Structure 1
Amino acid sequence: MEWVAAVGTIIIIGLTLFLLEAIGRRVEAEPETVRKWIHIAVGHWVFLALAWLEHWYVAIVPLLFFTVVNLLTLKRGTGQMNQVERISYGTVYYPISLLILVGLFFEREPMALVAGSMVLAWGDGMAALVGRRYGKTFYTRGAIKRSFEGSIAMFLFSFLVLTSTFLIYALPAWIAISYGFLLANIAALIEAVSYRDLDNIFIPLSIGALVAFAL
């Protein structure tokens, strides 16, 4: 039954992708906006995995599946999430980073898995959406251009999801808030200095590791 549940998570995520792409076309949203909707939504797969699956080697199967699918659709340029201004491997790095998180923390440190996934989903996702819509003050690192408004959104949403995660896992409120604040700053810094889409790997793995070893 566990393998059936794994297939079920693939179907649910696939339907979610289809629905968000359909909504994007209906409201004529920009491809980059649709891409970030998907970015945020897909991170919640970890809750399905933790609720339905028991073993890490089963949980990585959907992630392997979407790594291959995302790579193929990227090469073919299909789907709104790949109709962006530049070729982006972020959609491939995303499931790879979750795969590594699952392998490391799924059975032993689920809080680290949730924390890393939620910061990637909400922190990084909202940073891009806010920066694209409201960004007015920019800074550059080589050829990479980011906005302070996006970085602030990265910090705020990371702080929110980290603190919520720690409270859900019954940590004392002062630890949840203080560690949430500290790790949100670290996540924002990593996002600010990361090269292109590699933040999809560095952010969740760094936050997951820090949560696992510090809490």
Structure 2
Amino acid sequence: MWLKIAIAFSWLVIVIFTAWLVSRFNQTNPELIRKIVHIGIGHIILIAWWLDIPGIVGIIASIVASIVTLLSYIFPILPGIDNVGRRSLGTFFYAVSIGVLVAWFWYSQQPEYAAIGIMIMSWGDGLAALIGQNFGKHKYQIFGSQKSWEGSLTVTIVSYIICSLILLASQGNIWQIWVVSSVVALLSTALEAVAFLGIDNLTVPIGSAGIAYFLIQFLTNANVTN
């Protein structure tokens, strides 16, 4: 087990080192640095799934990360990550969401749903911010949070692809996958649009994972019944 944990920890070190290296050559775009960390760290859920790391390890790591991120709002522990130019608890919610999803799906032997939630948050939300800031021409606001239609479309497309690929890998090629992925993509987009205080880092992963799980169960059971 310790070797598996060491591999997972090594990935985190690689992500942080990559972000630091990029920051040395690109100090004018702090959002890029944040998204490297945001997207990179999300892959820890895939590593934990593939290596079959015990759920308790993920839960403890989530608790520790949550405490550190809360302290970082008081002390400059993670200045490059928490400094987003607006009031946000996004980093804290990110850590909490990983712990919640591991606790929910690891012990039910269905880690693929935790992977769906975290990967949609990592790639969907991460790319949406980069696309929206660099190419977003058509803006809209929800609860004071400014978004772009280009960024939201990115969330939809990325969420659909991620959900489809993970369900294909875990469930096989069944027709329910395409329906579920479509619903998950639309829900993730809606949840990502409501992002005050960084709450989307909690609602997107838990919401997308939850709806994927319940829809697969419902549609599969309905198909068996018929």
TM-score, length basis structure 1: 0.90
Q: Distance in 2 between matches of 1:193 and 1:86?
A: 15
Decide whether the 8 Å contact of 2:180 with 2:215 is kept in 1.
Answer: no
2:15–2:36: 8 Å Cα contact kept in structure 1? no
Q: Deviations over 1:139-192 (max 9, x none)?
A: 112321111111011101111111111111133253322221121011101112
Task: Tell me which moved more, 5-14 or 167-176.
Answer: 5-14
Which residue number corresponds to residue 65 of structure 2?
66
CA 1:22–1:72 in structure 2 vs 1: closer, same or farther (change >3 Å)? farther
- Structure 2 counterpart of 1:104, one-letter code: W
Amino acid at match of 2:155: M
Identity %: 26
Q: Could you list the runs of 5+ residues in structure 2 that have no partner in the other structure?
A: 217-226
> Aligned letter for 1:81?
I
Q: 1:12-31 alignment to 2 at 5 Å?
A: 12-31=11-30
Matched with 2:8 is: 9
User: Which secondary structure does the structure 1 equivalent of 2:85 belong to?
Assistant: coil
**Partner of 1:154 in structure 2?**
155
Cα distance in 2 for partners of 1:151, 1:9 equals 31
3-state DSSP of counterpart to 1:75:
coil
- State the match for 1:51 in structure 2: 50
Contact kept in structure 2, 1:139 and 1:148, CA below 8 Å: yes
Q: Which residue of 2 aligns with 1:96?
A: 96
Check whether the contact 1:130–1:149 (CA below 8 A) recurs between aligned residues.
yes
**Preserved CA contact (<8 Å) 1:135 1:147:** yes
Residues 138 and 148, structure 2, Cα contact 8 Å, conserved in 1 = yes
Aligned residues: CA RMSD: 2.0
Q: Alignment length, in residue pairs?
A: 214
Distance 1:24 1:160 in 2: 30
Contact 1:6–1:53 (8 Å) recurs in 2: no
Q: Do 1:117 and 1:204's aligned partners in 2 also have CA atoms closer than 8 Å?
A: yes
2:96 pairs with 1:128: no
Following the alignment from structure 1 to structure 2, what is the Cα–Cα distance between the partners of residues 194 and 82?
Answer: 15
Secondary structure of the corresponding residue to residue 76 of structure 1: coil
Please state whether the residue corresponding to 2:23 is helix, strand or coil.
Answer: helix
**Deviation readout 1:21-73 (Å, 9 max, x if unpaired):** 22123233511221112111111101221233443212212222222233333
Larger radius of gyration: 2
Which residue does the alignment assign to 2:183? 182
Whether the aligned pair in 2 keeps the contact of 1:144 and 1:195 (CA below 8 Å) is yes
- Once residues 52 and 188 of structure 1 are traced to their aligned partners in structure 2, the CA distance between those partners, rounded to angstroms, is 30
